[in-house]
Amino acid sequence: MNEKYTYWLKKILFLPCLIISLFTQAQEVDYFSNNAFGNPVTGHSGEYYNGVTYVAYQGEKEDAFVAAYNHKTKKWIGPFKAGTSLLGKKAGKIDNHGKPSLIVDGAGYIHVVFGGHGGSKKMGVNPLGNYNSGKQIHVVTKRPMDISSWEVVDNLTPFATYSQFIKMDNGDIYLFFRHGAHRSNWVYQVSKDNCKTFSSVKSIVKAKPTSPTKVCNDVYDSWYLDFHKGSNNEILVAYNYHVCKNMRPHDSERHNCYYMKLNTENEEWYNVKGEVLKLPITKEYADKKTMVVNTGDRWGQIGRAFMNNQGQPHVYWYEGEYDQSKHGGPKKLVNYYWTGSEWIGNDTNLPVEGRGDVLMNSKESLQYLIGYKEGTSSEVAWWSSKDVGQNFQRGKVLMKEKGAKFKLSNFIRNAHPDARIIATQKIDGTNYSKVFLIGDNGPIKLLKVEN
């Protein structure tokens, strides 16, 4: 064949490949999904396991969706629908209480629990609380590390809200949740066989009338709890008190900060002084045995408990003066730590108002990875302090986009450096959000043709 003819033939045949390549590059995006619905991500939404990061979020009609990123092949898998929620099926109504919690068991099967906002009376009697809507649903992959197909496992109570998975070093899996709607005990169960079966429910804190002697009482002691794996066999708990009103307009009034921990080896609960606690804990008992600080008239939202490298517990949360139009007002980050004899701390004096998670390097040194507004843009950046939060310096900005403030999960369990945290950003004019997986080098990108 004529060499000149062959040369031009190769050029012509190569041209479509070049066009496709250029088109593909032009379609690269920072997010891996744009079908997240409402407020789509909870704290316990992701895990790195055997080279893959798994991420769960609330998608279309509040159903549970899962995506995965293979760090070796650098490819996204999914997202796939993992299960159907009873919530989110009424037009114009977004519930947001049944966001999915994800765990990978010791055999590599992925479990997701989602869809609960207390359950309903038609599901039976709730002995530990009241009802609202939805149903706690447990699904698991049909094959290890394969998120393409799922099945329902009917081994949990339907009466649940805010389900949170914790996995211990020995493979035991703990599931914590509120056993119903607002006026319900918080409880936990344990599985020692990769979530095939769970122990009976055990109450942690008790919901009860604030003034039980009154004939007509419309206020309940209620709670919000966050659970975090500590060192070795400990689970750390930060919690706050909710003034649950009924006859008067219900609002998000919450006060105080409390701390305790569970020793999973002997199944005993302890306060910061090492005293064994009696369960279930009431408001009066919590004030006496586990209080970090009384916030007075200031409203708060729960943060997280963690340890520094010297074994001292820290608790961070968010406080603000009451402002009805802002559901309690702007809430600044507050950090307290235990000296061995008392809790000390204060407003962290961050120059921005953001939410995220924390890494503790020493007694004094800590780093917050937070999402916040910066002018007309939203940023995700590291902020570091060497004096336990009195002063901060902004570190590396991992992401910056025009639009709404980024909302962050907690750090991903066993996180890979390229995938530390999940972020969402609301799409203007819609009820949907984009979902990002962010690591030390920023968001992991997706070629749109992979969708």
Region 387-404: mean pLDDT is 91
Q: Is the pLDDT of residue 23 over 80?
A: no
Pair 230, 140 in one domain = yes
> pLDDT-based confidence at 242, cuts 50/70/90?
very high
Residue 347 and residue 325 share a domain: yes
pLDDT of residue 388: 80
Q: Are 54 and 98 in contact (CB under 8 A)?
A: no
Q: How far apart are CA 170 and CA 173, in angstroms?
A: 9
What is the average per-residue pLDDT within 142-157?
A: 98
Measured at the alpha carbon of residue 47, what is the angle toward residues 41 and 52, in degrees to the nearest 5?
120
Please say if the pLDDT value at position 11 is more than 50.
Answer: no
Is 69 annotated as catalytic? no
| pLDDT higher than threshold 60 for residue 450 | no
Catalytic residue chosen out of the listed positions 54, 57, 69, 97: 97
**pLDDT at residue 408 in the model:** 95
Question: Are both 77 and 124 inside the same structural domain?
Answer: yes
Q: Give the span between the Cα atoms of 385 and 91, in whole angstroms.
A: 46
Task: Indicate whether this model's pTM tops 0.95.
Answer: no
SS3 label, residue 435: strand
- Predicted local distance difference test score (pLDDT) of residue 9: 47
pLDDT digit string, tens, across residues 103-125: 999 999 999 999 999 999 999 99
Cα–Cα dist 267/221, whole Å: 25
Q: Which of 54, 162, 188, 241 is catalytic?
A: 162
The per-residue pLDDT for range 181-237, each reduced to its tens digit, is: 999 999 999 999 999 999 999 999 999 999 866 545 688 999 999 999 998 899 999
- Any idea which of 57-61, 158-162, 223-227, 325-329 has the lowest mean pLDDT? 325-329
> 302 or 262: which carries more pLDDT confidence?
262
- Could you tell me if 255 and 351 lie in one domain? yes
* Angle (nearest 5°) at CA 205 between 204 and 209: 150
Last residue of a domain, one of 338, 364, 390: 364
Q: Is the peptide bond before 209 cis (omega within 30 degrees of 0)?
A: no
Question: What is the rounded average pLDDT of the residues 367-389?
Answer: 92
Q: Are residues 251 and 376 in the same domain?
A: no
The yes-or-no verdict on residue 129 having pLDDT over 80 is yes
Shared domain for 322 and 378, answered yes or no, is no
Higher pLDDT, 126 or 388: 126
The pLDDT, as a whole number, for residue 217 is 65
- 139, pLDDT greater than 90: yes
Note whether 342 and 403 are same-domain residues.
no
Same domain, 305 and 433: no
Is there a catalytic annotation at residue 255?
no
**Among 85-89, 92-96, 97-101, 138-142, whose mean pLDDT is lowest?**
92-96
pLDDT at 340: 93
Both 335 and 443 in one domain: the answer is no
Cβ neighbours of residue 113 under 8 Å, at least 6 residues apart?
Answer: 100, 101, 136, 137, 138, 139, 156, 160, 163, 165, 175
Average pLDDT over every residue of 132-158 = 98
Query: The CATH number of the domain where 284 resides is what?
Result: 2.120.10
- 154 and 241 belong to one structural domain: yes
Strands, E assignment, 271-410: 291-293, 299-307, 313-320, 332-338, 343-347, 355-360, 366-374, 377-385, 393-402, 407-408
379 Cβ neighbours under 8 A, 6+ residues apart: 371, 372, 373, 397, 399, 400, 406
Q: What is the pLDDT of residues 301-319, one digit of tens each?
A: 899 999 988 889 999 999 8
User: Is the per-residue pLDDT at 85 higher than 50?
Assistant: yes
What pLDDT is stored for residue 188 in this prediction?
98
Q: What is the DSSP-derived secondary structure letter of residue 14?
A: H
- How far is CA 69 from each of CA 49, 162, 435, rounded to the nearest angstrom? 10, 25, 13
Query: Which of 91, 37, 90, 89 is CA-nearest to residue 60?
Result: 37
Task: Tell me what the mean pLDDT of segment 136-156 comes to.
Answer: 98
Residue 226: give the domain boundaries. Answer: 39-364
Q: Band of the pLDDT at 24, cuts 50, 70, 90?
A: very low
Q: Considering the chain, what percentage of its residues have pLDDT values greater than 70?
A: 90
Last residue in a domain, options 298, 331, 364: 364
Average pLDDT of the chain, as a whole number: 90
Please give the pLDDT value at position 451: 46
Secondary structure (H, E, C), 240-280: EEEEEECCCCCCCCEEEEEEEEEECCCCEEECCCCCECCCC
Contact between 364 and 377 under an 8 Å Cβ cutoff? The reply is: no
The total number of structural domains that make up the chain: 2
Indicate if 336 and 406 belong to the same structural domain: no
Contacts from 264-270 at CB under 8 Å and sequence distance 24+? 264/168, 264/172, 264/174, 264/190, 264/233, 264/234, 264/235, 265/233, 269/204
> And the tokens for 444?
């992991």
> Is a pLDDT exceeding 60 seen at residue 12?
no
Pick from 229, 172, 146, 170: nearest CA to 415: 229
Tell me the mean pLDDT in the region 144-154.
98
- Spell out the residues 6+ positions from residue 309 whose beta carbon is closer than 8 angstroms to its own: 360, 361, 362, 363
Tell me which of 364, 389, 409 is where a domain ends.
364
User: 261 and 397 share a domain?
Assistant: no
